[in-house]
Amino acid sequence: MLRSVNPATGEEIASYDAHGPEAIEAAIESADACHHRWRLAPFDERASMLDAAAQQLELRREPLARLMAEEMGKPIVDGRAEVDKCAWVCRYYAENGEAQLADTEIATDRTKSYVHHEPLGVVLAVMPWNFPLWQVFRFAAPGLMAGNAGLLKHASNVSGSALAIEEVFQEAGAPEGLFTTLLIPSSEVRGIIEHPLVRAATLTGSDIAGRAVAAAAGAALKPTVLELGGSDPYVVLADADVSAAAATCATARLINGGQSCIAGKRFIVDRRIHDDFVEAMVEAFQARTVGDPLDEATDIGPMARTDLRDECHDQVSATIEAGAGLVLGGAVPDGPGAYYPPTILTGVKPGMAGADEEVFGPAAAIMEVTDEEEAIRMANTSEFGLGAAVFTSDREKGEHLAATRLEAGACFVNTNVASDPRLPFGGIKNSGYGRELGVHGIQSFVNTKTVVVA
Backbone angles phi, psi at 49, to 5 degrees: -65, -45
Do residues 248 and 263 make contact, with C-beta atoms less than 8 angstroms apart?
A: no
Tell me the helix, strand and coil percentages in the chain, rounded to 5.
Answer: 45, 20, 35
145/302 Cα distance (integer angstroms)? 35
Long-range CB contacts for residues 207-216, cutoff 8 Å, separation at least 24: 207/383, 207/430, 207/431, 207/432, 209/126, 210/432, 213/126, 213/189, 216/189, 216/190
Do residues 141 and 85 make contact, with C-beta atoms less than 8 angstroms apart?
A: no
Neighbour count for residue 272 (Cβ, 10 Å): 14
Question: Among the options 34, 90, 249, 261, which is catalytic?
Answer: 261
Contacts of 436 (CB under 8 A, 6+ apart): 138, 139, 142, 202, 225, 227, 419, 424, 425, 426, 444
Question: What is the sign, positive or negative, of the torsion defined by CA atoms of 412, 413, 414, 420?
Answer: negative
- Measured N-to-C along each axis, helices 43-59 and 61-72 cross at an angle, to the nearest 10 degrees, of 70
227 is catalytic: yes
329/309 Cα distance (integer angstroms)? 13
Q: Enumerate the H helices of 39-75 as residue ranges.
A: 43-59, 61-72
Question: Among the options 70, 71, 82, 227, which is catalytic?
Answer: 227
Contacts of 41 (CB under 8 A, 6+ apart): 147
436 is catalytic: no
Do residues 240 and 273 make contact, with C-beta atoms less than 8 angstroms apart?
A: yes
Q: How many residues does the chain have?
A: 454
Q: Kindly give the pairing relationship between strand 363-369 and strand 264-270.
A: parallel
27/377 Cα distance (integer angstroms)? 49
**Which residues are annotated as catalytic?**
227, 261
